Amino acid sequence: MSTASSIGRVALVTGGSGGIGQAVVERLVEDGLSVAVHYSGNRAKADALVAKIATAGGSAIAVGGDVADEHAMLAAFDQVEAAFGGIDVVVNTAGIMVLAPITSLNLADLDRMHRTNIRGTFVVSQQAARRVRAGGAIVNFSTTVTRTSFPSYGAYAASKAAVEAMTLVLARELRGKDITVNAVAPGPTATALFLDGKDEQTIQALSKAAPLERLGTPDDIAETVAFLAGPARWVNGQVIFVNGGLA
């Protein structure tokens, strides 16, 4: 439900046209925020989400750009501020995942994950630290695999461990600014990013791994993001594991 404190607040969600990103966008709009839906390659999908929000009476725009390109992100933040007057919440859901054992991972894939997951998060966090208004929040994305250490996730987990490190440092660097900085670490979640390349047996095994015996949903993750983006003013410098008790 919308609250008085959320009216007039503005969020930028990177990867906002993706599975978890879209759920986050829709949840923040439900809370009364104006939202910038960021996309990298699929403008049509972002535009469709913006149109859906507008039809339902919400406020949203689409902004594009490579999250690892500091000039593109500078322009994206400028666009959001020009449209809505400022930024209160930045959520970094943009990321890529390539799975392979460390012994056989193509190093080009390692570099791609490093560019998007580490450099991209750093670039967006840097802009967010400069732009987010007092009372705001920065929410980055890690993964539960930093704890479970599943085989074939070595490079991906390493990139997300870096995200955790920069998140916790930034929270402390923003002392006195009244801006919280946290990371959400989902467990197995039913999105295309997770499901692609996995056979049914693997999916079923992972769906039973958590005590709640199901995969997470994008809405499960979005609920936690909304908490961190809004009422959770005393949660800061933390990694929140959202995984049904898996780890």
pLDDT of residue 191: 80
For the chain, what percent of residues have pLDDT higher than 90?
Answer: 84
What percent of the chain lies above the pLDDT cut of 70?
96
Secondary structure (DSSP) of 82-93: HHHS---EEEE-
Note the pLDDT of residue 203.
Answer: 84
pLDDT given at position 47: 97
pLDDT confidence band for 1 (50 / 70 / 90): very low
Mean pLDDT for 110-123 is 98
Question: pLDDT tens digit string along 150-181?
Answer: 999 999 999 999 999 999 999 999 999 999 99
Q: pLDDT value at position 195?
A: 74
Per-residue confidence (pLDDT) for residue 95, from 0 to 100: 95
Please write the tens of the pLDDT for every residue from 21-74.
Answer: 999 999 999 999 999 999 998 999 999 999 999 999 999 999 999 999 999 999
156 Cβ contact list (under 8 Å, min separation 6): 97, 98, 99, 113, 117, 143, 145
Q: Can you give the pTM of this predicted structure?
A: 0.94
pLDDT digits (tens, 9 = 90+) for 201-212: 888 888 888 899
Residue 6 has pLDDT above 90, yes or no: no
The whole-chain average pLDDT of the chain stands at 94
Q: Which residues contact 184 (CB under 8 A, 6 or more apart)?
A: 139, 140, 141, 142, 221, 224, 225, 228, 239, 240, 242
Is 156 among the residues known to form the active site?
yes
When pLDDT is averaged across residues 95-124 and rounded to a whole number, the result is 97
Per-residue confidence band for 198, with pLDDT thresholds at 50, 70 and 90: confident
pLDDT at residue 175, as a whole number: 98
What local confidence, expressed as pLDDT, does residue 202 receive? Answer: 81
Encoding tokens for residue 16?
Answer: 């906002």
Which pLDDT does position 4 carry in this prediction? 38
Please, which residues have CB within 8 angstroms of residue 28's CB and are 6 or more apart in sequence? 11, 13, 35, 89, 91, 225, 226, 229
96 pLDDT band, cuts 50/70/90, is very high
Question: Above 80 in pLDDT, residue 19?
Answer: yes
pLDDT value of residue 7: 64
Assign a CATH topology to domain 4-187+222-232: Rossmann fold (3.40.50)
Catalytic option among 156, 168, 189, 246: 156
Question: Is the pLDDT assigned to residue 3 strictly greater than 70?
Answer: no
Is residue 132 predicted with pLDDT exceeding 50? Answer: yes
